[in-house]
Copies of this chain bind each other. A is one copy, B any other.
């Protein structure tokens, strides 16, 4: 891969995440004018919303916007597919032939095994393309480009689920772009391991937040909030179409984590019910110590 400064990076889908990635890659460097050292030479974007492209272009976030992917892709040395899982494979199938020879292609889908296997299969038919599945672990309430300014990448996690045939220099190149965007830890693992852990840290948490809002109907309840309720339920303001997709795409793993959680909840409930102070104390102390041993 050429130095980033000579590369054209294309972002397919200028929504919440695509917009945030464009802003992070395109933001000005120390001098406040030219881009950061290591930033892509040119930043292109495709979106179906002409107005979104115009706004991004006017704000100097992207160098050029395309309503037609077939026009953008042939220019792009690197492509970020910032699409919902359901549209990802359709997109790669339709535009397969348009990707530039030798392009590095990556995605941001929150489920990897099913979605990426299919996208990879399609892109593989072009054996000159190097598809490296990825998942930036950041988000924000709301949807679309207009909310993308709320997404904060600083110090956040980024998961990569590389494929055996990925070219090491491309993997290194992608990691440099990821750090340029401000991410902290970059973790490499398998798609299966990703999907299992994400079902716990992300999907289960969203299901819990949704259930917590679902089971109460007093919108004035936050008068009685001390921060915990607000923190636990903020993510209930979710991108509904995307999260329903993620839940169903990763259904079996999510369901098994829900069952695990229900078992733990049931165990603690039983200790409260019987008023077993010593055992409840021991259990909560173990929980406190385990959480204290975690980052974040």
Which listed residue (B248, B264, B280) contacts A215, Cβ 8 A?
B264
Provide the bound-state CA to CA distance between A287 and B236, in Å: 7
Are A275 and B248 also in contact (CB < 8 A) when A207-B269, A223-B185, A228-B235 are? yes
Provide the bound-state CA to CA distance between A205 and B222, in Å: 13
> How near does chain B come to A195, taking the closest CB pair, in angstroms?
10
> CB of A210 within 8 A of chain B?
yes
Write out the residue numbers on chain B whose beta carbons fall within 8 Å of the beta carbon of A292: 237
> How near does chain B come to A214, taking the closest CB pair, in angstroms?
4
Q: Which residue of B lies closest to A243 (CB)?
A: B284
Q: How many copies does the complex hold?
A: 2
Which listed residue (B139, B225, B265) contacts A211, Cβ 8 A?
B265
Tell me whether chain A's interface is mostly helix, strand or loop, or mixed.
Answer: helix
State how many residues of chain A have any CB contact under 8 Å with chain B.
Answer: 87
> How near does chain B come to A287, taking the closest CB pair, in angstroms?
5
Q: Which of A7-15, A97-105, A166-174, A254-262 contacts B (4 or more CB under 8 A)?
A: A254-262
Which listed residue (B231, B254, B281, B285) contacts A231, Cβ 8 A?
B231
Q: List 20 A-B contacts (CB under 8 A).
A: A137-B225, A137-B227, A138-B227, A197-B218, A197-B221, A200-B229, A205-B212, A210-B283, A211-B265, A214-B268, A215-B257, A215-B260, A215-B264, A216-B260, A227-B296, A234-B296, A238-B288, A240-B284, A248-B275, A251-B275
